[in-house]
Amino acid sequence: MPIYEFICTHCGKRNEFITFRVSEPVPDTCAHCEQTGLRRIPSRVRVRLSEETRLERLADPSRFGSLDENDPKSMARFMKAMTHEMGDDLDEDVDSLIEEAMEEEAAGGGEGSSGAGDDGTEDLD
């Protein structure tokens, strides 16, 4: 069963189509934005790993070395790596939340940037 991968020329999202025969036609419509205009791209090489191996990779302490829980960009990279390792993609909602947090941080309006607690008092650790 061939897997064909395409990228949408409108929204830039990746589309995959599985066919049962090579001669079977592949849709020309993006599954995300429903526009026509897909461009075929080379398929990624996929290697099957056991669930145990994936979980061992996730638990490796060296993966947390560059993680800064106060930096939205660092957290976004970490979340994307974790979901990719588990074989999932982030939902568009999660992607948009990450983008919003990164924009807030860049604008200086991120949570915890004022040093005040939820009740408006200073945290003096």
- Whether the per-residue pLDDT at 63 is higher than 70: the answer is yes
Same domain, 34 and 59: no
Identify whether residues 13 and 32 lie together within a single domain: yes
DSSP annotation of 119 reads T
Confidence check: pLDDT of 116 > 50: no
The helix, strand and coil proportions of the chain, stated in percent and rounded to the nearest 5, come to 35, 15, 50
The type of residue at 94 is V
pLDDT at 119 over 60: no
State the pLDDT at residue 27: 86
Contact 78, 98 (CB under 8 A): no
Is the same domain home to 36 and 58?
A: no
Could you report the per-residue pLDDT of 76-106, keeping only the tens digit for each? 777 777 777 766 666 677 777 777 877 877 7
Q: Residue 15 sits in which domain range?
A: 3-41
Q: Is the same domain home to 56 and 102?
A: yes
pLDDT tens profile 12-45 = 999 988 878 878 888 889 999 999 999 988 877 7
Say which residues have a Cβ less than 8 Å from residue 56's Cβ, sequence separation at least 6. none
Q: How many domains does the chain have?
A: 2
In a shared domain, residues 62 and 27? no
Question: What does pTM read for this prediction?
Answer: 0.37
